């Protein structure tokens, strides 16, 4: 769903899409056919921010469960070992103390200078710690490559505003219906 959410969010923001196109055109020198290299992927700094912001708003796993290995005390309450605790990443990523205007799609939150001082566990789309997703680097590489290949040749337009989405969290976070976009060939 990460690629779908990214394309949907990009399609809502022509200004952000223009910035991605500028970055891709600079990297590929308007050659829309040559394969993407790892060096190209490393240069896609703004696209990286866009994908992270999309995952902030729509994490694939909106809830992560963990079983406590030992008792912990939270606000004076003891939570015993063996308890399954749930982390609602969907809500964590919308904490206005960490992400001002949390409902706004703002990739610049993830520019290096804007991440300074942010707690490393404030943003955990792939979980964190010793049980984090072992495939997260591959997932990000795949997402970046697919989205870059689409946007090198096309403009996209999302057909449904965010307030019309009906989110459902089953195994993954998805819309209860298609995320409709229109694809236009770039000039």
* Bind-site residues: 133
Distance CA 100, CA 75 (A): 25
Residue stretches of the annotated binding site for heme: 133
The two tokens of residue 81 are 């070992």
* Number of neighbouring beta carbons within 10 Å of residue 133: 16
SS3 of residue 149 by DSSP? helix
φ/ψ of 78, rounded to 5, equals -90, 130
Distances in whole angstroms, Cα of residue 77 to Cα of each of 35, 66, 67, 72? 55, 18, 17, 8
Contacts of 184 (CB under 8 A, 6+ apart): 154, 155, 156, 157
Q: Is the CB of residue 154 less than 8 Å from the CB of residue 184? A: yes
Q: CA 52, CA 71: separation in Å to the nearest integer?
A: 33
């Amino acid at each position: 769903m990460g690629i779908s959410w990214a394309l949907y969010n990009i399609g809502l923001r022509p200004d952000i899409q223009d910035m991605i196109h500028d970055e891709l055109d600079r990297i590929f020198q308007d050659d829309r056919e040559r394969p993407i290299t790892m060096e190209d992927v490393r240069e896609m700094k703004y696209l990286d921010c866009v994908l992270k912001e999309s995952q902030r708003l729509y994490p694939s796993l909106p809830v992560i469960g963990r079983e406590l290995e030992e008792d912990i005390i939270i606000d004076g309450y003891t939570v015993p070992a063996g308890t399954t605790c749930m982390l609602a990443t969907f809500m964590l990523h919308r904490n206005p103390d960490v992400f001002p205007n949390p409902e706004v799609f703002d990739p610049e939150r993830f520019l290096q200078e804007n991440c300074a001082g942010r707690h490393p566990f404030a943003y955990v789309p792939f979980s964190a710690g010793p049980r984090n997703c072992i495939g997260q680097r591959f997932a990000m590489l795949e997402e970046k490559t697919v989205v870059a290949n689409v946007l090198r040749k096309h403009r996209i337009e999302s057909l449904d505003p965010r307030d019309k989405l009906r989110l459902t969290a089953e195994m993954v976070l998805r819309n209860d219906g298609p995320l409709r976009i229109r694809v236009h060939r770039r000039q």
